[in-house]
Amino acid sequence: MSEIHEIVQKRYGDIAASGVNTCCGTGMTQQPKLYEDKQLEGLPVDVTGLSLGCGDPVTIADLNPGETVLDLGSGAGIDCFLAARQVGEAGYVIGVDMTPAMLEKANANKEKMSVTNVEFRQGQIESLPVDDNTIDVIISNCVINLAPDKRPVFAEAFRVLKPGGRVSISDIVTEGAFTEELRADVEKWAECVTGAIDVAEYTNMMQQVGFVDIQVVDKVDAKDVIQQREGMPRIFSARITARKPQN
């Protein structure tokens, strides 16, 4: 693991252990509202209370019954459980996360909810514990910005998707770049700030590994999620969709 992985894992391990939801950024007293109340009906507070995302990738994924879904950086499992309802018993949801304490939370939540079509696997999103061409839809919520190098994440996502499979990502991106000095702030990196890259660079990387129909569905100022400082580029929470070609 790189130093960044270690710091990120420590941060999310501590959050899982304390159960305190500090979202991506820090010092925010108010949690942003990411989901409609109706979507969250029936989910235990142990799931909703440890929602650490910056958007709602499940709704834009437009899931169908029977589909197999993979969540990159599944945390305590909120998006996996929402996806599981939509794909139904004929579908299946796999959540991958590298932080053991998060996986413990996710598995405890799964047991509490008696969900049978969700599985959590330990692993890094740069090296997915998932077979080639087996996934219909990849979702991810505020995780790819944390990866030290985003390219292998997109390459792995492309590898595991079935031909014609799609991705639906909520993530923190920027317009412009952080200075090298700010990028070296690993604590801010772990808070989903300085690991974020320019949205055009992000979508270019996706294109380079083979994704098509890449769309930035919407881009909202991340001020409710992240405290911005003087000298930073504009930071956004973006929803990005794309597809692996059929052939």
Which residues in 10-29 contact ligand SAM (CB under 6 A)? Answer: 12, 24
By CB under 6 A, is residue 141 in contact with ligand SAM?
yes
By CB under 6 A, is residue 147 in contact with ligand SAM?
yes
Which residues in 184-243 contact ligand SAM (CB under 6 A)? Answer: 192
CB nearer to ligand SAM: pick between 33 and 230: 33
CB nearer to ligand SAM: pick between 51 and 117: 51
What does the block give as tokens for 157? Answer: 């996502």
Minimum CB–partner distance for residue 195 and ligand SAM (Å): 9
Which residues in 26-65 contact ligand SAM (CB under 6 A)? Answer: 51-53
Which residues in 155-174 contact ligand SAM (CB under 6 A)? Answer: none
Cα separation of 87 and 67, whole Å? 6
Cα separation of 76 and 110, whole Å? 9
The correct pick among 69, 82, 142, 173 for binding ligand SAM (CB under 6 A) is: 142
CB nearer to ligand SAM: pick between 8 and 193: 8
By CB under 6 A, is residue 106 in contact with ligand SAM?
no
Minimum CB–partner distance for residue 209 and ligand SAM (Å): 16
Minimum CB–partner distance for residue 86 and ligand SAM (Å): 16
Cβ proximity of 101 and 17 under 8 Å:
yes
Pick from 78, 130, 69, 120: which is nearest to 99 by CA? 120
Q: How far is CA 75 from CA 2, 23, 126, 230, in A?
A: 20, 11, 16, 30
CB nearer to ligand SAM: pick between 1 and 212: 1
Which residues in 68-97 contact ligand SAM (CB under 6 A)? Answer: 73-75, 78-79, 97
Q: Which residue has the tokens 């270690």?
A: 6
Residues of the shown chain interacting with ligand SAM in the complex, contacts defined by CB under 6 A: 5, 8, 12, 24, 51-53, 73-75, 78-79, 97-99, 102, 124-126, 141-143, 146-147, 192
